[in-house]
Amino acid sequence: MTTSLQILFEGNVQGVGFRWSVKRIAKGFDVTGWVRNLPDGRVALQASGEDAEVRAFIEAIGQSELRAHIRKQTESVPAQPPQARGFEIRHD
């Protein structure tokens, strides 16, 4: 079953290599999507793929060195699956 999730990360998540680390972690999973900074200081991530892969990817982020920067993460289902080739860092 294919799943798409949007995760909003709050904490000290900008200016610490967060997006680059997420992209590196994504290489180990069969997911597509993107990660980007938001103007309010949060980081948004959208990922799509088999449910187990997406869940394992999100869990891997939480178990990585990034956990020290995450104060809160909020999960939701996006209205549309992320439009991306592979997993990318967005600057829009």
- Per the structure block, which two tokens stand in for 80? 């549309």
pLDDT at 50: 96
Task: Say which CATH number the domain at 47 has.
Answer: 3.30.70.100
Partners of 6 in the beta sheet? 46, 76
**Which segments of the chain are extended strands (E)?**
2-11, 31-37, 43-50, 70-76, 87-89
Interval 60-87: pLDDT, tens: 999 999 999 999 999 999 988 777 789 9
pTM of the model: 0.92
pLDDT at 20: 97
CA–CA distances in Å: residue 53 to residues 28, 29, 50, 92: 10, 6, 5, 26
Amino acid type, 11: G
Residue from 37, 42, 67, 85 carrying the catalytic annotation: 37
Active site residue 12: no
Evaluate whether residue 59 is within a structural domain.
yes
Instruction: Name the domain count of the chain.
Output: 1
Evaluate whether residue 57 is within a structural domain.
yes
Active site residue 19: yes
* Domain region containing 59: 2-79
